[in-house]
Structure formats: structure tokens, C-alpha cells
Amino acid sequence: MGKPTGFMEYVREDLPERNPRQRISDWNELYEPLPEDKLRLQAARCMDCAVPFCQTGMNFGKLTTGCPLHNLIPEWNDLVYRGRWKEALDRLHMTNNFPEFTGRACPAPCEGSCVAALVNDPVTIKNIERTIIDRGFAEGWVKPNPPGFRTGKKVAVVGSGPAGLAAADELNKMGHLVTVFERDDRIGGLLTYGIPKMKIEQHVVDRRVRLLEEEGITFLTGVNVGVNYPADRLTAEFDAVVLCIGAQKHRDLPIPGRHLAGVHFAMEFLWKNGKSLLDSGLADGNYISAEGKDVVVIGGGDTATDCVSTALRHGCRNLVQFDIYPIRPAERAPDNPWPLWPVIHRKDYGQKEAAAVYGDDPREFGVSAKEFIDDGNGRLAGVKTVQVRTIREGGAVRREEIPGTERTWPAQLALIAIGFSGPEQELLQQMGIATDERSNIAAEYGKYETNVPGVFAAGDARRGASLIVWAIHEGREAAKACDQYLRAKARTA
């Protein structure tokens, strides 16, 4: 805890946001730092709550309570309040390999479960976490710490997103020889090519990767296991394998006109933008440009918001975002009690930017896309929609069109951001990996081993598309399971 009465004495103060009209002209981070004295007062708001739900990390259906990493939040809040920053960093790294990622791009389920929220506003846990790690790097406290011994066992980690990096980090600390395979030309997975740079600047990813390299991890880029590196070679050359390949099979929208030029998956749009930006500052033109176009973003989640913000930076002419769900309530509904994640109406960074440009939130709620309109030359000219009611019956959800609400929206670019339906299957089929009814890798939570001995799975590929914090948690836990397997195998050899 911080100061026993801090939550009554000090109001919540978030990191200052850069002006939305100004920041859409660049790809720099969205927020500015908070002075140390103010950060310490924010940490002082951590109350003596007896049961810190912020660090529970439990799932209730599709909702999360607290931090899946079980971060020692009250402990490092107290240390920050007392100005003991290096000790706070040590506490933070005990449970979180990459707080610089979660401190920037995690929606902070910990804050949704903060007991102080029952009184007024939750503690700014995410901002404090980010400041601790950024100060740690600035002060030179974060240094390479290679293991003092090596087991001689070789482990391959396929995929270099947050789950893969966490698994590699933990296995390396355990003394194993770790090689990370990444099919793209840069390490980081969605941290590099999925999440826009204004949320996580690339230098933040690169400095952590350099640290992991200095600690002994080998990174191989441009290696697509199952394509230019045979899958059977992987299992032959390594003592164990951890699959962290993500859930990048897009959920499609099979409506008339889906084939038209100008209709793209959101991740194609974001990936190409990220690569062109890092390669040339967009000068090479190898990206899907929204400049001067009417843009429709279909979807209501984080990926859709990232598309909104990216299109604004391109200089789109107009923008609208369709969310099939009705607008959320301003406060918790009766069936969404604390300490569950609050399902309430929010305006994220992309919507704030769009409102600054166009004068209003770009979202249209309760809207379903029915058809992509052809301009007569095979290109997108508009999107036809209808308003829908969402009807919940027991655990099922169905939608009912509202007669007379059809509308056509002008669009030369439509981005489909309605989620993902599991990992790509080709590698799994080559390796004989079993999948579940949702096409995710079948590996029991807590055990992480697949039906193929010595092959483990973690992150989105196992659990479905989820949060960075869950990916890190699963990478850490899969590493433990993999280590136990290797030790048991060594004892019986």
C-alpha cells in the first residue's frame, strides 16, 4: 500500500495526453511523463485494502479480474510512494518480464479490480508501472544478466511476440540454450508490426530484444518454420519446442462485394503500415494508404481503434467506425459487478483523435455491414449497413435487423477488424498438433504441452486472441512446464 489515507486525499491524475490534433501529424507516443512528485502521490492512493484484487488474475467467463501476472502491485506502489524506485523495479521484474509493453498497451484489468474504485477512482497502476521500468532503463538499472550455468538443452521458440519473448526469457534464465524463430524481418511479432508505433515506439521493443540477445538468446528472422525451415528439422535439432505463433487467422466478413479492391483485413493494413514506417518512414509507398479517402472501419475493439488512428495519420477525408454492439452503459450494469472488468462506454485514443478532427466520436453503434458497393470498375465505392438489435437469451446472443434502417456510406477503403479465429493451421498440420473446437492448439491450461511430446504452446495460439498481459503470463508458465519436461527427460536418460 501507499499512504493509508492517500486515496481520500489525492485525486487520480493520468499521464498527460498530447494534443490529439497535433499528435496525428506524427507517430510518436501518445502520452507525456508525469513529474516524479505527482507520480509518488498517485502511488500514495494505493489503499490498505487487505485483499488486493488488483493482482488476482482470474477469469470469469470472458472477463478478467485483476492482473494475470499477479504483479505485486501494492508492494511497488508503496516503494514508489517512498521514493525507492530501484526496489520497485526489482519487485516489478519478479512477475513481469516486459513491463514497458504492458505499461503502454495493456488495458489494465488490474485497475478495473482496484478497491479504491469502490470509493472514487482506481489507482493509476498502469502509469506507475510504465514509469518504474522507464526510469529503470534511464538510470541504467536494467542490465544484461545472463545465466551462470547452461544445461546443454536446446529449446526452439517459434514466434517472437510477447508470449514467445517471455517463454524465451524464462527458459534462458533456467540455463537452456534458446533460439527464437521469427518469420518476419524484425523481432517482436505484433509488438512490432501489429500495434501502431504511437502506442509502443520501436525503440522500446528493440532495447528489450538487445538485452535478451546479450543474455544469450539467439534470434533468427526471416525463418518461417514449415515453409523455409522444415518442421521435422525443428523437432530433430531441438530438445523441446514452444509454439507461440499467435492467432492471426482473420475472422472474415463474407458479404456481397467482399472481393472488391479497397476492402482489407485490419491487420494487413496495420502490418504494411508498420513495416513501411520502419523501413522508410512511409516514403517507399509500400502500404495501404487512407490519404484522401472515405474510410470505414468495421469492428469495435482495440484493433479497430488502431485502424482509426492510423487512417487519421494518413490524412483520410472522412472516417466512420461500425460497432455491431449497442452503446455500452456509462456505469457498470447489474450483471457486471466489481471486481470484474467494467464493460462501460469509453472513448479510446483513436476516437478522441477522430473527434478532434471531425467534431464527434466516429462510432456508429448497433450497426451491421450488409454489402460492399462496387463503383462499376471492381473498386469499393461504399458500404451498405442496417441497424440491429442485440438480443441475449440465456448464454446465446442473436441479432435482429431493424426494418427501414438501411443506409449506404461512401467508402473507398474498408477495414475489417472483427477479430481472429485462431492460429494459422499449416505448421500445426505438418507437426501433427491437435487443435480444439475453436481451431486453437489443444494444450491444457497450466500444463501447456500438446499431444506431441516435448512440444508446448502458449499465448494467443493456445487461448485465442487476448491481451499482452495474458501472453506474457502464458509464456512464463509454458517455460516452466517445458523446463520440467527437460529435467524429467534428463533424469531418465
Tens-place pLDDT, residues 119-160: 889 999 999 999 999 999 999 999 999 999 999 999 999 999
CA within 13 Å, CB half, 228: 9
Ranges of H-type helices in 221-348: 231-237, 266-280, 302-314
Residue 25 has pLDDT above 90, yes or no: yes
Q: Domain ends where: 416, 436, 471?
A: 416
Integer Cα distance of 447 and 244 in angstroms: 15
Backbone angles phi, psi at 178, to 5 degrees: -110, 130
403 and 427 share one domain: no
Per-residue pLDDT at 60: 76
CATH of the domain at 294: 3.50.50.60
Residue 346 maps to a domain: yes
Residue 149 maps to a domain: no
- In contact, 286 and 272? CB cutoff 8 Å: yes
Cα separations in angstroms, 361 against 25, 349, 354, 414, 432? 19, 11, 6, 18, 47
Integer Cα distance of 375 and 408 in angstroms: 13
Residue 148 maps to a domain: no
Tens-place pLDDT, residues 429-465: 999 999 999 999 999 999 999 999 999 999 999 999 9
482 and 442 share one domain: yes
425 and 402 share one domain: no
Residue type, 32: E
Give the confidence band of 58 by pLDDT, cuts at 50, 70, 90: confident
41 and 111 share one domain: yes
Q: What is the mean pLDDT of residues 460-483?
A: 96
Residue 147 maps to a domain: no
Distance separating the N- and C-terminal Cα atoms of the chain: 49
Complete DSSP assignment for 163-224: HHHHHHHHHHHTT-EEEEEESSSSTTTHHHHTS-TTTS-HHHHHHHHHHHHHTT-EEEES--
Find the length of the chain. 493
Residue 145 maps to a domain: no
Per-residue pLDDT at 397: 87
Residue 493 has pLDDT above 90, yes or no: no
Q: Which residues of 219-237 are buried (b: 16+ CB within 10 A; e: fewer)?
A: beeebebbeebebeebbee
Give 3 or 33, the one with higher predicted confidence. Answer: 33
398 and 291 share one domain: yes
Q: Domain ends where: 81, 105, 138?
A: 138
Write the CB contacts of 8 (distance below 8 Å, at least 6 apart in sequence).
Answer: 119
337 and 383 share one domain: yes
Q: What is the mean pLDDT of residues 8-20?
A: 96
Q: What is the mean pLDDT of residues 396-414?
A: 96
Write the CB contacts of 327 (distance below 8 Å, at least 6 apart in sequence).
Answer: 345, 365, 366
For the chain, the domain total comes to 3
pTM over 0.85: yes
Q: Which residues of 106-124 are buried (b: 16+ CB within 10 A; e: fewer)?
A: bbbbbbbbbbbbeeeebbb
Integer Cα distance of 271 and 192 in angstroms: 9
Write the CB contacts of 386 (distance below 8 Å, at least 6 apart in sequence).
Answer: 367, 368, 370, 401, 402, 405, 406, 407
Cell match 479497430: residue? 304
CA-based max dimension of the chain: 72
402 and 487 share one domain: no
- Whole domain around residue 179: which residue ranges? 154-248+421-492
Other C-beta atoms closer than 10 Å to the C-beta of 317 total 14
49 and 179 share one domain: no
Tens-place pLDDT, residues 74-117: 999 999 999 999 999 999 999 999 999 999 999 999 999 999 99
Residue 86 maps to a domain: yes
412 and 434 share one domain: no
Give 48 or 210, the one with higher predicted confidence. Answer: 210
Consecutive H or E run containing 78? helix 73-81
35 and 101 share one domain: yes
Q: What is the mean pLDDT of residues 264-292?
A: 98
Q: What is the mean pLDDT of residues 260-278?
A: 98
Give the confidence band of 59 by pLDDT, cuts at 50, 70, 90: confident
280 and 399 share one domain: yes
Instruction: Supply the mean pLDDT for the chain.
Output: 96
Residue 215 maps to a domain: yes
Residue 358 maps to a domain: yes
* Numbers of helices and strands, H then E, in the chain: 18, 16
Consecutive H or E run containing 294? strand 294-298
Tens-place pLDDT, residues 224-239: 999 999 999 999 999 9
- In contact, 362 and 308? CB cutoff 8 Å: yes
Q: What DSSP state is assigned to residue 31? A: B
Residue 64 has pLDDT above 80, yes or no: no
Per-residue pLDDT at 61: 73
Decide the pairing of beta strands 413-416 and 58-60: unpaired
Q: What is the mean pLDDT of residues 172-189?
A: 98
Per-residue pLDDT at 48: 86
387 and 433 share one domain: no
Residue 179 has pLDDT above 80, yes or no: yes
